[in-house]
Amino acid sequence: MSEDIIKELENRMKEIEAARTELWDKGQYEPMMEGEYWDCQIVLKQMKEGEDADVSELQKKKQEGIVAAQQQIHKVAEEE
């Protein structure tokens, strides 16, 4: 079962990466999708290293990514 979950998380991350590539420059990439991407990373690390795995760096990247996505949306909106 773990293998199925890992595969599902990896597939979802690929979908989100594709959406990011397609939507970022248009200012349509949702910050929630960025958050979901990093949540997948966090869960994968915990599955591979155990519940006590240090995910603080991934949580920091999640917050930075969400902020960057929000800023990109505002930047594109201001340019229009």
pTM value is 0.92
In the chain, the percentage of residues whose pLDDT exceeds 70 is 99
The answer on pLDDT for 20 being more than 90 is: yes
The answer on pLDDT for 5 being more than 80 is: yes
What pLDDT shows up at residue 80?
83
What pLDDT shows up at residue 4?
94
- Rounded to the nearest integer, the mean pLDDT of the chain is 96
DSSP code per residue over 8-77: HHHHHHHHHHHHHHHHGGGT---HHHHHHHHHHHHHHHHHHH-TT---HHHHHHHHHHHHHHHHHHHHHH
